[in-house]
Amino acid sequence: MASRKDDTPREATAKGPSGPRSGPSHLGKQAMLPFITRRTLGAAVTLLIIAAVTFFLFFAVPADPARLACGKVCPPDLLEQARHNLGLDQPLFAQFVAWLAGIFVGRDYESLGHCPAPCLGYSFVNREPVFETILDRLPVTVSLTIGAAVVFLVFGLATGIVAALRQGKPLDKIASVASLIGASVQIYFIGTLALYFLVYQNQILQRPQYLPFTENPIAWASGLALPWVVLAIIFTANYTRMTRSTMVEQLSEDYVRTARAKGMSGRSVVMRFALRGTLTPIITIFGVDLGTLIGGAIITETTFGLQGLGRLSIKAVWDSDLPLLMGTVLVAAGAIVFFNIVVDVLYAFIDPRVRLS
């Protein structure tokens, strides 16, 4: 308690912007802008390092993409030609610089012409522009992720809250057991089972497919319903446990007791007071999960035959397709870094103490 003996009036120093309508967002913006700028710069450096490491690691492995781009019968002159066509005859560093420059100013290719910025190059295998390929796949992965995230976040929070409010009751125990089971199963296991029984054998659900949201939202949702549910089964567990334990902690917080002592209704105490504090750790894992999922739900996409970033990255690895590999790694890393920043910004919105310190 001794540490709280600070009664020096702070009016002089801590004068926030005044006015009746100065809400949190207004307060936030002032500190937020330099924060976001700083974090974005940091992210750019991180991504550059990741790109460089990926690039040079690629060449550390003896698999030769030129050989794959050269037929079954591949004499040395043909191999040399293939190497030249892919730009692999340039010095490594020059290749990397060219790749990097392409992102900002575009690139010109001998055979394929100009690739406008942001240019991530052309696939070694099918000579498609990598940037466009990724743009084409991104909506699939994003839809998969967002839909699943909504489901597992809502269910995770709901079951976690209920479990916390019914500590030790059957409902709490069921939630604990269910979350344990959920956490221990694998997507390719329940995904395949679900496909087999719900789709192929009984046609209860539609075969997973991606249809653009903009064309038909209902078809979009029903096409992705199964993967969402399966992903949710696996992810919800973590959120249930986390919500439950944090909620239990929050419910014993002094300010929650104060709220009740003020005559706030039980519901408002839970939703407005206790939940607020519970959100912080939830947002943290949510950010990580979102980043990881966008970066590539490899197993999910493979299991359900969806053409997203995850499968694209697997293909890139299998085919030693360097430009595609660099592109998918960049997007995956970018997603993780981006959601980290978003989480930090969200912290500030949830907790004014973070915002102003």
Of residues 292-321, those binding other proteins (CB under 8 A):
302-307, 311, 315, 318-320
| Least spacing, CB of residue 158 vs other proteins, in Å | 21
By CB under 8 A, which span of 18-26, 175-183, 225-233, 339-347 interacts with other proteins? Answer: 18-26
Number of residues counted as binding other proteins (CB under 8 A): 85
- Nearer of residues 220 and 304 to other proteins, judged by Cβ: 304
- Nearer of residues 209 and 292 to other proteins, judged by Cβ: 209
| Least spacing, CB of residue 135 vs other proteins, in Å | 12
Q: SS3 for the chain, per residue? A: CHHHCCCCCCCCCCCCCCCCCCCHHHHHHHHHHHHHHHHHHHHHHHHHHHHHHHHHHHHHCCCCHHHHCCCCCCCHHHHHHHHHHCCCCCCHHHHHHHHHHHHHHCEEECCCEEECCCCCCECCCCCCEHHHHHHHHHHHHHHHHHHHHHHHHHHHHHHHHHHHHCCCCHHHHHHHHHHHHHHHCCHHHHHHHHHHHHHHHCCCCCCCCCCCCCCCHHHHHHHHHHHHHHHHHHHHHHHHHHHHHHHHHHHCCHHHHHHHHCCCCHHHHHHHHHHHHHHHHHHHHHHHHHHHHHHCCHHHHHHHCCCCHHHHHHHHHHCCCHHHHHHHHHHHHHHHHHHHHHHHHHHHHHCHHHHHC
- Nearer of residues 34 and 263 to other proteins, judged by Cβ: 263
| Least spacing, CB of residue 237 vs other proteins, in Å | 25
- Nearer of residues 290 and 316 to other proteins, judged by Cβ: 316
- Nearer of residues 7 and 104 to other proteins, judged by Cβ: 7
| Least spacing, CB of residue 310 vs other proteins, in Å | 12
Site string for other proteins, 247-286 (x = CB under 8 A): ------xxx-xxxxxxxxxx------x--xx---------
| Least spacing, CB of residue 44 vs other proteins, in Å | 30
Say which DSSP state 119 is in: P
- Nearer of residues 125 and 174 to other proteins, judged by Cβ: 125
Q: Footprint of other proteins on residues 325-344 (CB under 8 A)?
A: none
| Long-range residue pairs from 168-172, CB within 8 A, at least 24 positions apart, any chain | 172/244
Distances (CA, A) of 50 to 21, 44, 77, 106: 44, 10, 34, 20
| Least spacing, CB of residue 134 vs other proteins, in Å | 12
Q: Which residue of 91, 201, 214, 215 would you call a contact of other proteins, by CB under 8 A? A: 201
- Distance, in Å, from the CA atom of 229 to the CA atom of 237, rounded to the nearest integer, reads 13
**Residue 203 in the binding site for other proteins (CB under 8 A):** yes
**Residue 127 in the binding site for other proteins (CB under 8 A):** yes
- Distance, in Å, from the CA atom of 55 to the CA atom of 42, rounded to the nearest integer, reads 20
**Residue 22 in the binding site for other proteins (CB under 8 A):** yes
**Residue 16 in the binding site for other proteins (CB under 8 A):** yes
Q: Footprint of other proteins on residues 204-233 (CB under 8 A)?
A: 207
Q: Footprint of other proteins on residues 50-89 (CB under 8 A)?
A: 61-64, 67-79, 81-82, 84-85
Q: Footprint of other proteins on residues 131-160 (CB under 8 A)?
A: 133, 136
| Least spacing, CB of residue 107 vs other proteins, in Å | 16
| Least spacing, CB of residue 192 vs other proteins, in Å | 7
| Least spacing, CB of residue 32 vs other proteins, in Å | 16
- Nearer of residues 165 and 342 to other proteins, judged by Cβ: 165
